Chains A and B, each alone.
Chain A
Amino acid sequence: KCPLVVSRTFWGKNIKCVCFYRNALLEADINKLGFSSPAARKTGTTICGVVYKDGVVLGADTRATEGMVVADKNCSKIHYISPNIYCCGAGTAADTEMTTQIISSNLELHSLSTGRLPRVTTANRMLKQMLFRYQGYIGAALVLGGVDCNGPHLYSIYPHGSTDKLPYVTMGSGSLAAMAVFEDRYRPNMEEEEAKRLVRDAIAAGIFNDLGSGSNIDLCVITKGKVDYLRPHDMANKKGVRTGSYRYKHGTTGVLTKAVTPLNLEVVEESVQTMDTS
């Protein structure tokens, strides 16, 4: 008989691994029937950030995958933390979404309490302490960037809670491709246009060389007092137009017999909802 709640005491605080055994049993049952349980939606991703002369440029691709299938062709990976701080997220989509929202909320309360614009290092502390508390079970790998009273700052945050403060960072499955571009062309104190081009090229390298990344390139340029959220900045993968028509003409299949049975129905209410095919 397995306990439903596994309580692990670490760092003086309990983290409850609720449903762990239940999930394991369900998985085993499903496997016995020959199926596999659905994979968590991950953002197999390319995200990156660069510090330039006046601020920070963050970049991300827009593909969200569920195993080997693209679940969302145009998801937004650059999350709002505060008016001067944004965060790109790679890893499990739900984890990055929720973690950034929680810290954004706490940071707003903190900012109201201090009466000051929040600092990037505060957001970094809050994120790393939360992720460490969950010992890596929250699969959120983040690139945090912003401009505060002490200038522009850029941090990379790993799921286990370690952080690095650097002038340029990349994360996600496409991070190696993006880092190659950065290592080649990064210079300190770039101009805004050059920095945007560099980030765009780094994300493009991830999109075209990594299977987990794709679709468009989103950019977020943060400077003192201004944020340019460019979504999309570059539609690198526009859907092509089919050259030929593959529809069969009416009459291709010969009709042998036809029987029509009218159904006596009256329309009570009609509402039309279009499918989102973007």
Chain B
Amino acid sequence: TLEACCSRAWTSCFNSTSIMAVEFEGGVVIGADSRTTTGAYIANRVTDKLTPIHERIFCCRSGSAADTQAIADAVTYQLGFHSIELDEAPLVQTAASLFREMCYRYREELMAGIIVAGWDPRRGGQVYTVPVGGMMTRQPVSVGGSGSSYIYGYVDSNYRAGMSKEECLKFTAEALTLAMERDGSSGGVVRLAVVSEQGVERQVILGNQLPKFSTV
């Protein structure tokens, strides 16, 4: 068959992923694990799934690595061009729309679950989720990837509106740690980033520095 020709053994997938984004007053906190797998082998254990699309707009990538890298490159180009034409910083909603356009138009060929998050002067910190299929919706908190299934309960019960930046960072780090703990295909380090009016602050939490929960 046409599909059998295509060597599945080489597919580099991030579907084994945990990604998350949270809005707070003044910006967004985004986080991801760092594992890319080809089948059962970890091809890259220190992947950076938080990709800058523009100065203050990021996307968290889950799904097929090839698809999401190609989409992110295309949207980075389109958004950069649009921003130069406008001569001002682009809106996060514009970036999310560009992702949605591509993910919906080519939905049959692509496997990409993307969370677009950033800060713009008009609406402040925003999180838009563009899951597989190409829907786009704005949410105050969004989780994605295979590891997200395990933390919906934790996120729903622990999220409060109006958290500060530090609280959001702690919340994201803990949620991702729990997801990585239970999802065999998420792991490595936790990469975090805070995007706000002041710019971007990135941090990495190494494996031995992750928050500890009681393991029964």
Contact = CB atoms under 8 A, between A and B. Distances in A.
Interface of A: 6, 10-11, 17, 20, 91, 125, 128-129, 131-132, 135-137, 139, 141, 156, 158-164, 166, 175-176
A159 to B, nearest CB: 5
22 contacts: A6-B2, A11-B70, A125-B73, A128-B69, A132-B70, A135-B6, A136-B7, A137-B5, A139-B10, A158-B10, A158-B12, A158-B66, A159-B10, A160-B64, A160-B65, A162-B65, A162-B69, A163-B69, A164-B36, A166-B44, A166-B46, A175-B41
Q: Which 4 A-B pairs have the closest CB atoms?
A: A162-B65, A160-B66, A162-B66, A161-B66
A10 B65 contact: no
Nearest to A135: B6
Contact of A136 (B11, B41, B70): B11
B188 to A, nearest CB: 13
A160 B10 contact: yes
B51 interface: no
Contacts, number: 66
B34 to A, nearest CB: 11
Nearest to A173: B9
B109 interface: yes
Given A11-B106, A129-B73, A164-B44, 20 more contacts: A20-B2, A20-B5, A125-B73, A128-B66, A132-B66, A132-B70, A136-B11, A137-B5, A137-B6, A139-B10, A158-B11, A158-B43, A159-B7, A160-B65, A160-B66, A161-B66, A162-B12, A162-B65, A164-B36, A164-B43
A82 B96 CA distance: 38
Interface of B: 2, 5-7, 10-12, 36, 38, 41, 43-44, 46-47, 64-67, 69-70, 73, 106, 109
Contacts of B106: 10-11
A125 B2 CA distance: 27
Of listed B10, B38, B47, residue having the most chain A CB within 10 A: B10
Contacts of A137: 5-6
Contacts of A129: 70, 73
A125 B76 CA distance: 14
A182 to B, nearest CB: 12
Contacts of A139: 7, 10
A158 B46 CA distance: 17
A188 B11 CA distance: 29
A158 B7 contact: no
A38 to B, nearest CB: 16
A275 to B, nearest CB: 34
B11 to A, nearest CB: 6
A162 B43 CA distance: 11
Contacts of B11: 136, 158, 160
A164 B36 CA distance: 10
A140 to B, nearest CB: 10
A136 B2 contact: no
A91 B46 CA distance: 24
Contacts of A20: 2, 5
B15 to A, nearest CB: 13
A163 B66 CA distance: 7
A129 B77 CA distance: 14
A17 B3 CA distance: 12
A161 B10 CA distance: 10
Contacts of B47: 164
B65 A158 contact: yes
A136 B46 contact: no
Nearest to A160: B66
A156 B65 CA distance: 13
B10 A91 contact: yes
A172 to B, nearest CB: 11
Contacts of A125: 73
B78 to A, nearest CB: 13
A60 B5 CA distance: 26
A161 B109 CA distance: 14
B99 to A, nearest CB: 15
Contacts of A131: 66
